[in-house]
Chains A and B, each alone.
Chain A
């Protein structure tokens, strides 16, 4: 009984704290909104003798490999810039903090970077969920944040359509891959009658399918059939037989490798020989095991970047990365590297004092910036308009096929 009361007491204490925090947070937003904030809060940070760039990344925990890769890419970029004399003679000071792949830790890391370290810009977490958790901090403190790989649309744009002023990203958003796949199907493969086979249990797949459909229809193509499955299914034969009966000349299969691997195998067994295409959810060695190298021939995926891209800028990066870390850079390495150059480009364009507010304005007006993962321009929703890379599976290996512009 005593124990029960105690829990109750803590419970109400927790509630009260939560309420209080809510009220305070509300005030904070009001202050910065009217621009009358006093003290450091809500007025942004200014660079001192060095330019401080923070990083709030998943260096450990569930998705530790994502954050660590971005961190390695970012460090390479910082070293290069500092070795070349920094920005207008000022060196960059890079301050990474581990958010342990947890939302609460991500929020407190963002507060620490903005209030204590007084950084002028920061890299936001690698996952969309953790990035969303730090958006409010960035807005309140007027410190721009750039996520390397948070691809969910709601990082930069709230559900009600308002743009988060201080949130940016280096990667394209999920639905964009659907658009790219549709353009690739029309322009490169000459597809007219397409089928869509999507995972109905994932927002990612549904988002991709919707944008693919919109674009392919606009391109003059026809969606002859749309079939669906649910994650964890293993028998796709009846849907595939239906699709085959409609004679599509291209099939779009957004989804994750666990099911896609079997779908590709069963599709080939059912005698479907047309090109199949998916997105970055296919990108796993397990896909090749499940589908088999033969079945994967004539399939394509969209991805952020390929280390096999012959582009000189990419090959220079691959070489520099290999010299420093003795491995080929993956998409996260490239996105981390690009995120730093994206911020530094904006800082270079600032006239006068380097303040976090001035950097925000320059980030928002970035135009035709050439980076490893593509040349990009920031749109009104703070998403980069950039090309995606199309990879083709040839005998079980991903090969660079082409770049598709938006």
Chain B
């Protein structure tokens, strides 16, 4: 019974990683950039949700939607201001810019509101439902259902809509897509918008689930989500979901075995192993780089 309980804990944690990892993997898929500012968009989402619920007394769902919209706008601004002009620069230049944007966001927030943590208000009176002797809080179920809904929505957008088709085309070959009349710049912006909206949603969910938020909260989940994306195969959307869930469960199992202090280390060991053994990730095909 205890193990099923731990599995539930792991899936809850993993679904948050998965939501953040989706943004990483989509951006990487389309412009081959590891957007290290993504974890900070997640943090901004958490704070927008916090102010919406605690200060403006909004409903949780409205707060979630508001955070997603504002994060989408922020994501597009980041892309337009910082990354667009670097599209033909070396990849290392874009990577360093991403780290710079990350620090800029973190310390701008600290500048305006200080670095003290904030406590998310209680939005649900959590009840525990007992299923086969396992205590599952209604909160965990809520979070899981929101995450799954968002992932399904994303699958729909990518595979069934015009913009999704454009995204897939651009990620396949940007130049050919442009020749076919696809507006590449708009498509890239749309990718950032969707990825950032998911990060914003993850921020609100994280706040509701774990209560404490602070301006530097995005760093660790950001790195973990990056590991999840690499684990699943960076650039592959289902890979990010599976990678996130696997990482969450692995971390929880490590803690459950009594090695809670090794939890973060376990995540990085996974990253190292996957890069050595299967760099393309679980879902990736081993393709040779074209010369």
Contacts and interface: CB of A to CB of B under 8 A. Distances in A.
Interface of A: 200, 227-230, 234-235, 237-239, 241-242, 244-245, 258, 261-262, 265, 269-271, 286, 289-290, 292
Contacts of B217: 234
A238 B255 contact: yes
B210 interface: yes
B135 A229 contact: no
Interface in B255-278: 255-256, 258, 260-261
B97 interface: no
Interface SS of chain B: helix, strand, loop or mixed? helix
Interface stretch (B3-11, B100-108, B149-157, B195-203): B3-11
A271 B212 contact: no
Given A229-B260, A239-B260, 4 more contacts: A238-B252, A242-B258, A269-B128, A290-B119
A25 to B, nearest CB: 39
Contacts of A258: 117, 212
Contacts of A289: 119
A286 B258 contact: no
B261 A200 contact: yes
Given A237-B252, A241-B9, A242-B256, A261 B137 contact: no
Nearest to B253: A238
A262 B119 CA distance: 9
Interface SS of chain A: helix, strand, loop or mixed? helix
A235 B261 contact: no
A241 B5 CA distance: 7
B128 A265 contact: no
B19 interface: no
10 A-B pairs with least C-beta separation: A238-B255, A289-B119, A237-B9, A234-B210, A245-B2, A290-B119, A271-B135, A238-B252, A238-B256, A241-B5
B126 interface: yes
A103 to B, nearest CB: 24
Contacts of A238: 6, 9-10, 251-253, 255-256, 260
B66 interface: no
Contacts of A270: 135, 137
B12 to A, nearest CB: 8
Contacts of B5: 241
Interface string B232-270: 000000000000000000011101101011000000000
Contact of B211 (A200, A245, A261): A261
Contacts of B139: 269
Nearest to A230: B261
A241 B211 contact: no
Interface residues of B, number: 28
Contacts of B2: 241-242, 244-245
A235 B15 CA distance: 13
A230 B12 CA distance: 20
A241 B119 contact: no
24 contacts: A200-B261, A227-B260, A228-B261, A229-B260, A234-B217, A235-B9, A235-B13, A235-B210, A237-B9, A238-B9, A238-B10, A238-B255, A238-B260, A239-B255, A241-B2, A241-B256, A242-B256, A242-B258, A258-B212, A261-B119, A261-B211, A269-B139, A270-B135, A286-B119
Nearest to B1: A245
Nearest to B220: A232
Interface in B106-151: 117, 119, 122, 126, 128, 135, 137, 139
Nearest to A287: B119
A262 B210 CA distance: 7
A269 B137 contact: yes
Contacts of B119: 261, 286, 289-290
A290 B211 contact: yes
Contacts of A242: 2, 255-256, 258
Contacts of A292: 122
Nearest to B139: A269
Contacts of B256: 238, 241-242
Contacts of B253: 238
Contacts of A230: 261
A238 B256 CA distance: 5
Nearest to B264: A230
B227 to A, nearest CB: 16
B264 to A, nearest CB: 8
Contacts of B10: 238
A235 B210 CA distance: 7
A290 B210 CA distance: 9
Contacts of B122: 292
Interface in B179-228: 206, 210-212, 217
Contact of B117 (A239, A244, A271, A286): A286
Contacts of A235: 9, 13, 210
Nearest to B126: A269
Instruction: Specify which of B217, B252, B255 lies most central, judged by the most chain A CB atoms within 10 Å of its CB.
Output: B255
A232 B172 CA distance: 40
Contacts of B211: 234, 261-262, 265, 290
Contacts of A286: 117, 119
Contacts of A228: 260-261
A347 B139 CA distance: 62
Nearest to A197: B260
A182 to B, nearest CB: 23
Interface string B1-41: 01001100110110000000000000000000000000000
B256 to A, nearest CB: 5
Contacts of B261: 200, 228-230
Contacts of A265: 211
